[in-house]
């Protein structure tokens, strides 16, 4: 069965540093996702450069199909070794996983990965090999729908040292936290944000180490279709709505005119919500058979802003898209609940906006930017114009 391999990460910078000494890189080649987390020794610019170099080398070589052993040998041979501690200046965790949930997890000197399955949290079986004198651990992955695997830099285990905890956040405590907090509906990004956010609290919001959490989650495809604006020619309304409704999955309609067109074609009525959760965002509406009905341009602009926050690896609020305004509801539907997103974008000029600084071009730009950000999240996105 073909699944969607979701990915997401959150990073905290060492207090006082503008650059993170950890780095995450992704690459997709065919049906195989390569995801790399590298931790550069120390913090600041040097650590960032080493982590960036390491992650780029690994991601580029592995995604090109070069054997794992050759990639690791190239990386280990390329990295300098600390003369004082006699350890490499960068460590790594690498996923190579296809859309059936099968693949490899390779780990070098990072904390061991954690598996979350059916509400239980456990370790993965690892096989040790020695490459250029270094212990490298490999796990054969055979993941099921709903499984999540979490890898971290050692900043997670260091959280709270000398502050809230004498010896940092020990592994059993981390696993217990994940068991208590992670819900089946949480995305990989939300899980990583929750764990990193807890680390930030243990550090009393002054991380003493760069801290990164990378999550991979196996999901069945969840499709959302978004209707934005009427088609240019009114005679196309019926077919456009029919095509929109024909796609399985959740449905969102954005815009007053769009709502009227969809409701008319479905033989339904549009009703408006009476509550106003956010004074800056128009209230939502209701159409029987449609999962979410919102205003248009203002709402989409806010969703775009939320997507920028969601893509910021330092944002630990990704786990809390829980407001009830139309923009947040649409953001949660797109960012958290969906794997595939189809936009139906009508290009008709909305005469309700005559005399207002709202143009069709603006709407198209907003949708295009939002689609690009969803692709950056790893979503499968299509945009149909009419």
Summarised one tens digit per residue, pLDDT across range 115-147 is 999 999 999 999 999 987 889 999 999 999 999
Q: How far apart are CA 102 and CA 269, in angstroms?
A: 47
pLDDT tens across 154-166, in order? 999 999 876 655 5
- The ranges assigned to domains in the chain are 4-219, 223-385
- How far apart CA 111 and CA 120 sit, in angstroms, is 19
| 8 A C-beta contact, residue 325 and residue 19 | no
The reported pLDDT for the residue numbered 133 is 81
Residue range 202-230: mean pLDDT, rounded = 96
Query: Per-residue pLDDT tens for 244-293?
Result: 999 999 999 999 999 999 999 999 999 988 888 888 999 999 999 999 99
C-alpha separations of 263 from 164, 225, 289, 348 in Å? 56, 16, 9, 18
By three-state DSSP, how is residue 102 classified? Answer: strand
3-state secondary structure of 71: helix
User: How many Å apart are CA 119 and CA 58, to the nearest integer?
Assistant: 32
The CATH number of domain 4-219, selected from 3.60.40.10, 1.10.10.10, 2.40.110.10, 3.40.50.2000: 3.60.40.10
Examine the pLDDT at 354 and tell me if it is beyond 60. Answer: no
Question: How far, in Å, CA of 57 to CA of 354, rounded?
Answer: 53
Decide if 47 contacts 38 (C-beta within 8 A): no
- Predicted confidence (pLDDT) at residue 355 exceeds the cutoff of 70: no
Handedness of CA 58, 24, 93, 117 (dihedral sign): negative
Instruction: Please classify residue 106 by burial: count the beta carbons closer than 10 Å to its beta carbon, then call 0-12 exposed, 13-18 middle and 19+ buried.
Output: buried
CATH code of domain 223-385: 3.40.50
pTM (predicted TM-score): 0.91
Edge-to-edge strands of the sheet including 292-294? 270-272, 285-287, 292-294, 250-254, 223-228, 340-345, 380-385
């Amino acid at each position: 069965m073909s699944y969607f391999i979701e990915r997401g990460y959150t990073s905290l910078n060492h207090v006082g540093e503008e650059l993170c000494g950890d780095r995450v890189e992704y690459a997709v080649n065919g049906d195989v996702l390569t995801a790399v987390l590298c931790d550069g020794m120390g913090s600041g610019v040097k650590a960032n450069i080493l982590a960036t170099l390491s992650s780029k080398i690994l991601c580029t070589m592995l995604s090109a199909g070069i054997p794992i052993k050759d990639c690791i040998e190239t990386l280990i041979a390329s990295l300098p070794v600390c003369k004082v501690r006699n350890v490499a200046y960068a460590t790594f965790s690498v996923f190579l996983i296809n859309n059936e949930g099968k693949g490899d997890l390779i780990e070098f000197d990072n904390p061991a990965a954690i598996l979350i399955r059916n509400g239980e949290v456990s370790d993965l079986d690892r096989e040790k090999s020695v490459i250029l004198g270094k212990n490298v651990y490999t796990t054969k992955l055979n993941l099921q729908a709903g499984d999540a695997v979490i890898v971290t830099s050692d900043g997670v285990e260091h959280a709270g040292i000398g502050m809230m905890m004498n010896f940092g956040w020990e592994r059993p405590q981390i696993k217990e936290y994940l068991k208590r907090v992670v819900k089946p509906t949480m995305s990989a990004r939300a899980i990583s944000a929750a764990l990193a956010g807890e680390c930030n609290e243990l550090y009393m919001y002054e991380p003493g180490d760069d801290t990164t959490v990378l999550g991979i989650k196996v999901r069945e495809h969840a499709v959302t279709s978004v209707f934005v604006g009427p088609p240019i020619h009114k005679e196309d309304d019926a077919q456009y709505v029919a095509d929109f409704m024909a796609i399985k999955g959740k449905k969102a309609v954005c815009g007053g005119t769009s709502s009227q067109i969809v409701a008319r074609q479905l033989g339904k009525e549009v009703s408006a919500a009476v509550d106003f959760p956010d004074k800056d965002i128009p209230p939502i509406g209701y159409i029987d058979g449609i999962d979410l009905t919102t205003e248009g341009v203002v709402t989409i602009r806010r969703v775009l802003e939320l997507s920028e926050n969601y893509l910021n690896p330092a944002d630990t609020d990704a786990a809390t898209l829980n407001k009830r305004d139309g923009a947040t509801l649409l953001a949660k539907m797109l960012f958290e609940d969906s794997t595939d997103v189809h936009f139906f974008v009508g290009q008709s000029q909305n005469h309700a906006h005559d005399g207002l600084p709202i143009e069709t071009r603006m709407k198209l730009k907003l949708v295009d930017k939002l689609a690009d950000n969803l692709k950056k999240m790893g979503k499968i996105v299509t945009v149909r114009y009419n």
